[in-house]
Structure 1
Amino acid sequence: MKPAIRFVSTITRSAPPNDTLPLPQLRKLGLIYSSYRFAVSLFSMLMVYITARADSGASLPSFLQQTTLSFYVLLSMILLGLFYVVNKHMRQQLAFGLALDVIILSLLLYTAGAPDLQLTMLYMVVVAASFMLLHSSQALIITLLAIIFVIYQQFFYAIANSMSLTNLGDALLMSASFLAVGGLSWSISQRLVQLEKVAARHAKEVERLNVINQEVITQMVNGVIVIDQAHIVLANLAAYQLLSIPHRPSLTLPTTSKSHTPNDRRRLDSASAAQLADFEEQLDEQHPQLLQACLTVAAGQSRTFTYDLPAVANVSVFGKLRVQIIPLKDGSKLVMLEDLRREQANAQQLKLASLGQLTASIAHEIRNPLATISQASQLLMEDVVEICHPPVDNMTSPAPDYSDEHIAANHELYKMIFSQTKRVNRIIEDILKLSRQQQANQQPIVLAEWMPAFLENHFQGHDVFLRVKTQPTISFDTHQLEQVLINLINNGLRHSSYAHPHAFVEIEIYCADNDVIIDILDGGTGVREHDLPHLFNPFFTTDQAGTGLGLYLSQAFCEANQARLLYVPEHPKTCFRLIAPAINARTHV
């Protein structure tokens, strides 16, 4: 237990007292007092010589007085320069200077030859400064030293003047004044210390709130832009992403440092200003209509409109933003950018929910008679087989009078009934999948790791070639992503087999701006131009064996995950493109 006690006592002794001003204020007041000391010493030395020259009968200053004043001027200049240059041990420097002031003033008071009220009054400045700049214990020592020197000087002259104690009472009164000035200065200094602490606490709270606000604005999914005096003064990361403007990593100060120098702050402000200037330049080049609309809104008036994003060549998609311009009290404007894809995804979820409730009940009602029809067609087909190929033990019984043509025709009709019931059953299965879908359970997916495992599980033995040009991460429901890719790859393999004897599908994964692109390519004939408007409509199909719900379900799943599925007609191959926002938006090829 003894080492623990010693450790606690060491911590207690090393903890600095909290009854003094903070270092920045201490340095400022210390420089003021050091300048005052140098001015007083220089003025005292000049006044002594000026007074001696003006009064021809007066004697020149004594050697002790000249030496003391010269030494005081030199030390005052040295202390001022040292305190200005050296930022360490400021309180020790001030304590040494104040003790020197008391000693020099006592020597000047002694060399004056008689009690000097003007020199005695200078002690009060020293006492007041000691309680303002030093710890209370140090200031009390300086005050007691001044009292001792003053009383000793008065007592010494009283003895030298044949025990005349006329001025001794004045010395005692002056000493009491020192204590009063010291107490008043200490009270004022404590009030200043408390005010500085409150101000520092408020400054830290404001800085903390500013950091929180910056983090909240940075993490917002909506874009935020602040325009003041026709210049952009703030733009969050979402604004860069929604407008497809490259975002450079911003300069940040280290969070481990408790304090940052003004140079660090100036460097951070300069980097932020340069980044905002670059963003404003890019916005003027790529979205001049949006910037012009934001600048031309009259002060005090709000405006909301829909802005069509220009097409990006390598993405081939048009997007829309809801732009809301809100005037602020200081004359600046707040511009909010909202991606309408999220709103469309929510609408799609509501549509799927309402459609699912309807289709689920209809599908169950259709499935029961459909099962009966399918079973009956199978039984009829078995009867036809028995008639055409009777068992051996029944060869003696007379065969029914059916012609071969009649039996073959009925068998074909039964096969048609059975195949069509199977097709209707597939449609019902797809509708039930649609109705059973809950809200997307999104989770991060590293495509470079997830995609090879997916292809190994579902398309082993097929010619599906994967090319990954980057290492992106998207947020998607894994089950829904599997269903989308299975449908697209199966379509590609099927349509590629129609045009080539060897069916194959290519998958390319890359990044464009802040989106991850997954291209499903095949060598088929593509989609005819007049079919493009109906491509993602439910029950639309160009394949007689298809149900017409595969692409519709795939697009619904993509929209539920804030992604897009589209057909790219200008691609040299048949290309279906899945576009999803990247989680690590700064990952590029």
Structure 2
Amino acid sequence: MNPATNLSSAITRYVHHDDTLPLPQLRKLGLIYSSYRFVVSLFSMLMLYISARTGDSASLPSFLQQTTLSFYILLSLILLGLFYVVRKHMRRQLAFGLALDVIILSLLLYTTGNPDLQLTMLYMVVVAASFMLLHGSQALVITLLAIILVIYQQFFYAIANSMSLANLGDALLMSASFLAVGGLSWSISQRLVQLEKVAANHAKEVERLNVINQEVITQMVNGVIVIDKQHIVLANLAAHQLLSLSLVTPNTAQNTLDDVKETHNKALLSNFEQQLNKQHTQLFNACLSVASGQSRAFTYDVPAVANASIFGKLRVQIIPLKDDSKLVILEDLRREQASAQQLKLASLGQLTASIAHEIRNPLAAISQASQLLMEDVAEQMEDDSASTSESNTAITGNHELYEMIFSQTKRVNRIIEDILKLSRQQTATQQVLELAEWMPSFLENYFQGHDIFLRIKTKPIISFDTHQLEQILINLINNGLRYSSYAHPHAYVEIDIYCADNDVIIDILDNGNGVSAGNFELLFDPFFTTDTAGTGLGLYLSQAFCEANQARLLYIPEHEKTCFRLIVPSIKSDNKFQTIEENLT
């Protein structure tokens, strides 16, 4: 290919595909160059008068020089002010100023006559600045303008001095220098632009990762606390909830989730540290006492002041970080309990599946035989109505024994059915439930005709297996109705639904005699019951279903009424509380 063609294509690519600095960097460098222009114009005027005073004739500078420099000072000041105030079309302002620099320097070079090293260096600065601040095409125009003016001025000066072309070679050499300086400046500017782009991309990536990290930390179910130099510098939302610490700073109202995401909110972190030191002194001191470079793990019992009936126990892991910082991870042990319960359900399911038919087949035979014997006895009693009283007494006694056998087989069958319910629900199929809408419908379907008082103090949303939640509430409400009927002629049950921290609380209340203190530890054991007609599996199954859904079922002896509390994690927080009261009769 022709070298001229290669040069032409290279110039074309350069003109159309050059990169420029981003606007913030362009503004910064443009202000620096505008200030430099104003200082140079003042300095040039000052040096012009100083040179004239120190000369032999002590004459004033020429009118052209004074006019040019005065005009240059005025325009330099105007351009500096405009560039500082007006943020639009910055490259146009810079292009106009650089073209003005070339024209003024050419006028000064014309008044000097001979090539001047100082003016030549100023030309070099203008050319270099144009390739750094402007597009390639604009910078090339500025450079060509400087070359044309310099060569024309020297050529005109040579004609005026009887065609002496001694300085024309210096002008050509100066023009070549302009092109060399422009090329070098363009190469440096392109490298700077690429570095700026790389730095900007890295900054965006770091910012994106920081946003992702903040969101991940905020949404974590485990509490995360970072301690640096004996002070807390980070605490996520789960840490507040697991430790039951409020999100209220001393001088502000309730903080939102966005405030928690700002982990460097000093007021919020300071308030968190004060509450932690006050309500969880043992935990706070344990975190501070761990030596640098050492890790520690222990189980922490949440004190009653921090609503222990909700969270109970936490696993605490203290992990050392760099610069003597410490990472504290709080984990609610309810999830491990739920996993253990799932394993227990799976084992029980395998056991019951293998023995169900073996038990039910002979049990069905015994039940059928007892029914047949009772029918035979009934027939004998009709046929032997005229027999002696001793014979009738014996037949009646046999009938009672057969009824006892039949009733006990029915009870064993109920126990097997309860166990099979547990084995069939090995995995919870959770669904999103709005309790304010779901609970009234449930009570209408299962407890129509009973006195059930429902109070919903908020509109919580939970995730729970619908069938298992129905079984839990049916067991608890039936127990409440049964045991309250033993103590009072009018049996009724109250249901209170409200929120505590990030949990939804469902209290099942009745006015029965409650559970004796000696039975607290046995309350949720299988086959434990104080009712002769019960199987002792209702509360055990209810607790198993709760744990399979990451919930808890507790008996609250401190309550003034008999209270069984169901604690379910909320999947949506609503700060607008609304009370709903219903009486289903």
Normalised TM-score (structure 1): 0.90
Report the 3-state secondary structure (helix = DSSP H, G, I; strand = E; otherwise coil) of the residue aligned with 2:278. helix
Looking at structure 1, the residues matched to 276 and 309 of structure 2 have their Cα atoms a distance apart, in angstroms, of 20
Inter-CA distance 425–322: structure 2 relative to 1 (3 Å threshold): same
Counterpart for residue 262 of structure 1: none
Amino acid at match of 1:512: A
Counterpart for residue 466 of structure 1: 454
- Given that 1:445 and 1:473 are in contact with CA atoms closer than 8 Å, whether structure 2 keeps it comes out as yes
1:206-221 equivalences under 5 Å are: 206-221=206-221
- Given that 1:315 and 1:512 are in contact with CA atoms closer than 8 Å, whether structure 2 keeps it comes out as no
Counterpart for residue 563 of structure 1: 551
Inter-CA distance 210–85: structure 2 relative to 1 (3 Å threshold): same
C-alpha displacement of 1:271: 6.6
Counterpart for residue 82 of structure 2: 82
C-alpha displacement of 1:443: 2.2
Identify unmatched segments of 5+ residues in structure 1. Answer: 1-15, 254-267
Looking at structure 1, the residues matched to 476 and 529 of structure 2 have their Cα atoms a distance apart, in angstroms, of 14
The reply to whether residue 310 of structure 1 matches residue 298 of structure 2 is: no
C-alpha displacement of 1:120: 2.4
Counterpart for residue 94 of structure 1: 94
Counterpart for residue 8 of structure 1: none
Counterpart for residue 332 of structure 2: 339
Counterpart for residue 240 of structure 1: 240
Looking at structure 2, the residues matched to 269 and 179 of structure 1 have their Cα atoms a distance apart, in angstroms, of 53
Looking at structure 1, the residues matched to 145 and 263 of structure 2 have their Cα atoms a distance apart, in angstroms, of 52
The reply to whether residue 274 of structure 1 matches residue 267 of structure 2 is: yes
The percent identity for this pair of structures is 80
- Given that 2:459 and 2:574 are in contact with CA atoms closer than 8 Å, whether structure 1 keeps it comes out as no
Report the 3-state secondary structure (helix = DSSP H, G, I; strand = E; otherwise coil) of the residue aligned with 2:265. helix
Q: Which moved more, 1:126-135 or 1:73-82?
A: 73-82
Instruction: Deviation per CA, 1:178-228: give whole Å up to 9, x if none.
Output: 111111111111111111111212222222222222222222221111112
Amino acid at match of 1:115: P
Report the 3-state secondary structure (helix = DSSP H, G, I; strand = E; otherwise coil) of the residue aligned with 1:558. helix
Looking at structure 1, the residues matched to 68 and 258 of structure 2 have their Cα atoms a distance apart, in angstroms, of 55
Amino acid at match of 1:53: R
Counterpart for residue 515 of structure 1: 503
Inter-CA distance 225–271: structure 2 relative to 1 (3 Å threshold): closer
Report the 3-state secondary structure (helix = DSSP H, G, I; strand = E; otherwise coil) of the residue aligned with 1:347. helix
C-alpha displacement of 1:109: 1.6
Identify the match of residue 295 of structure 1 among 288, 292, 300.
288
Counterpart for residue 32 of structure 1: 32
- Given that 1:567 and 1:576 are in contact with CA atoms closer than 8 Å, whether structure 2 keeps it comes out as yes
Looking at structure 2, the residues matched to 313 and 107 of structure 1 have their Cα atoms a distance apart, in angstroms, of 84
Looking at structure 2, the residues matched to 409 and 126 of structure 1 have their Cα atoms a distance apart, in angstroms, of 124
C-alpha displacement of 1:467: 0.9
Instruction: Deviation per CA, 1:357-409: give whole Å up to 9, x if none.
Output: 2234344322222211111111111122222234xxx99xx969962222222
Identify unmatched segments of 5+ residues in structure 2. Answer: 1-15, 248-254, 578-585
Looking at structure 2, the residues matched to 534 and 524 of structure 1 have their Cα atoms a distance apart, in angstroms, of 19
Counterpart for residue 411 of structure 2: 423
Looking at structure 2, the residues matched to 493 and 127 of structure 1 have their Cα atoms a distance apart, in angstroms, of 95
Counterpart for residue 434 of structure 1: 422
Looking at structure 2, the residues matched to 71 and 270 of structure 1 have their Cα atoms a distance apart, in angstroms, of 56
1:138-537 equivalences under 5 Å are: 138-247=138-247, 248-251=255-258, 272-312=265-305, 316-317=309-310, 319-390=312-383, 403-537=391-525
Amino acid at match of 1:201: N
Amino acid at match of 2:506: I
Inter-CA distance 314–330: structure 2 relative to 1 (3 Å threshold): closer
C-alpha displacement of 1:580: 0.9
Aligned Cα root-mean-square deviation (Å)? 2.2
C-alpha displacement of 1:175: 0.8
Looking at structure 2, the residues matched to 317 and 59 of structure 1 have their Cα atoms a distance apart, in angstroms, of 97
Amino acid at match of 1:240: H
Amino acid at match of 1:409: G
Looking at structure 1, the residues matched to 514 and 427 of structure 2 have their Cα atoms a distance apart, in angstroms, of 33
Counterpart for residue 581 of structure 2: none
Inter-CA distance 432–18: structure 2 relative to 1 (3 Å threshold): farther
Counterpart for residue 7 of structure 2: none
**Paired positions, count:** 555
Looking at structure 1, the residues matched to 562 and 69 of structure 2 have their Cα atoms a distance apart, in angstroms, of 98
Looking at structure 2, the residues matched to 313 and 293 of structure 1 have their Cα atoms a distance apart, in angstroms, of 18
1:17-56 equivalences under 5 Å are: 19-56=19-56
Looking at structure 1, the residues matched to 263 and 543 of structure 2 have their Cα atoms a distance apart, in angstroms, of 45
C-alpha displacement of 1:112: 2.5
Counterpart for residue 539 of structure 1: 527
Q: Which moved more, 1:430-439 or 1:571-580?
A: 430-439
- Given that 2:259 and 2:265 are in contact with CA atoms closer than 8 Å, whether structure 1 keeps it comes out as no
Looking at structure 1, the residues matched to 257 and 35 of structure 2 have their Cα atoms a distance apart, in angstroms, of 43
- Given that 1:305 and 1:322 are in contact with CA atoms closer than 8 Å, whether structure 2 keeps it comes out as yes
- Given that 2:475 and 2:538 are in contact with CA atoms closer than 8 Å, whether structure 1 keeps it comes out as yes
Counterpart for residue 10 of structure 2: none
- Given that 1:131 and 1:185 are in contact with CA atoms closer than 8 Å, whether structure 2 keeps it comes out as yes
Amino acid at match of 1:170: D
- Given that 2:552 and 2:568 are in contact with CA atoms closer than 8 Å, whether structure 1 keeps it comes out as yes
Looking at structure 2, the residues matched to 60 and 503 of structure 1 have their Cα atoms a distance apart, in angstroms, of 117
Inter-CA distance 251–436: structure 2 relative to 1 (3 Å threshold): closer
Looking at structure 2, the residues matched to 410 and 306 of structure 1 have their Cα atoms a distance apart, in angstroms, of 61
Counterpart for residue 256 of structure 1: none
- Given that 1:244 and 1:514 are in contact with CA atoms closer than 8 Å, whether structure 2 keeps it comes out as no
Q: Which moved more, 1:193-202 or 1:283-292?
A: 283-292
Looking at structure 2, the residues matched to 120 and 242 of structure 1 have their Cα atoms a distance apart, in angstroms, of 74
- Given that 1:222 and 1:337 are in contact with CA atoms closer than 8 Å, whether structure 2 keeps it comes out as yes
Inter-CA distance 454–315: structure 2 relative to 1 (3 Å threshold): farther
Amino acid at match of 2:349: G
Looking at structure 2, the residues matched to 183 and 58 of structure 1 have their Cα atoms a distance apart, in angstroms, of 43
Q: Which moved more, 1:203-212 or 1:500-509?
A: 203-212
Amino acid at match of 1:468: I
Looking at structure 2, the residues matched to 522 and 515 of structure 1 have their Cα atoms a distance apart, in angstroms, of 22
Amino acid at match of 1:331: D
Report the 3-state secondary structure (helix = DSSP H, G, I; strand = E; otherwise coil) of the residue aligned with 2:155. helix
C-alpha displacement of 1:34: 1.3
- Given that 1:512 and 1:588 are in contact with CA atoms closer than 8 Å, whether structure 2 keeps it comes out as no
Instruction: Deviation per CA, 1:56-101: give whole Å up to 9, x if none.
Output: 5232112221122122122222222322233222211111111111
1:98-113 equivalences under 5 Å are: 98-113=98-113
Looking at structure 1, the residues matched to 295 and 309 of structure 2 have their Cα atoms a distance apart, in angstroms, of 32
Looking at structure 2, the residues matched to 121 and 313 of structure 1 have their Cα atoms a distance apart, in angstroms, of 76
- Given that 1:535 and 1:551 are in contact with CA atoms closer than 8 Å, whether structure 2 keeps it comes out as yes
- Given that 1:310 and 1:318 are in contact with CA atoms closer than 8 Å, whether structure 2 keeps it comes out as no
Report the 3-state secondary structure (helix = DSSP H, G, I; strand = E; otherwise coil) of the residue aligned with 2:553. strand
Inter-CA distance 484–473: structure 2 relative to 1 (3 Å threshold): same
- Given that 1:41 and 1:69 are in contact with CA atoms closer than 8 Å, whether structure 2 keeps it comes out as yes
Instruction: Deviation per CA, 1:245-300: give whole Å up to 9, x if none.
Output: 234225489xxxxxxxxxxxxxx979733332332233222222212211121111
- Given that 2:234 and 2:264 are in contact with CA atoms closer than 8 Å, whether structure 1 keeps it comes out as no
Looking at structure 2, the residues matched to 269 and 111 of structure 1 have their Cα atoms a distance apart, in angstroms, of 65
Looking at structure 2, the residues matched to 114 and 480 of structure 1 have their Cα atoms a distance apart, in angstroms, of 101
Normalised TM-score (structure 2): 0.90
Counterpart for residue 73 of structure 2: 73
Inter-CA distance 275–90: structure 2 relative to 1 (3 Å threshold): farther
C-alpha displacement of 1:113: 4.1
Looking at structure 1, the residues matched to 328 and 562 of structure 2 have their Cα atoms a distance apart, in angstroms, of 40
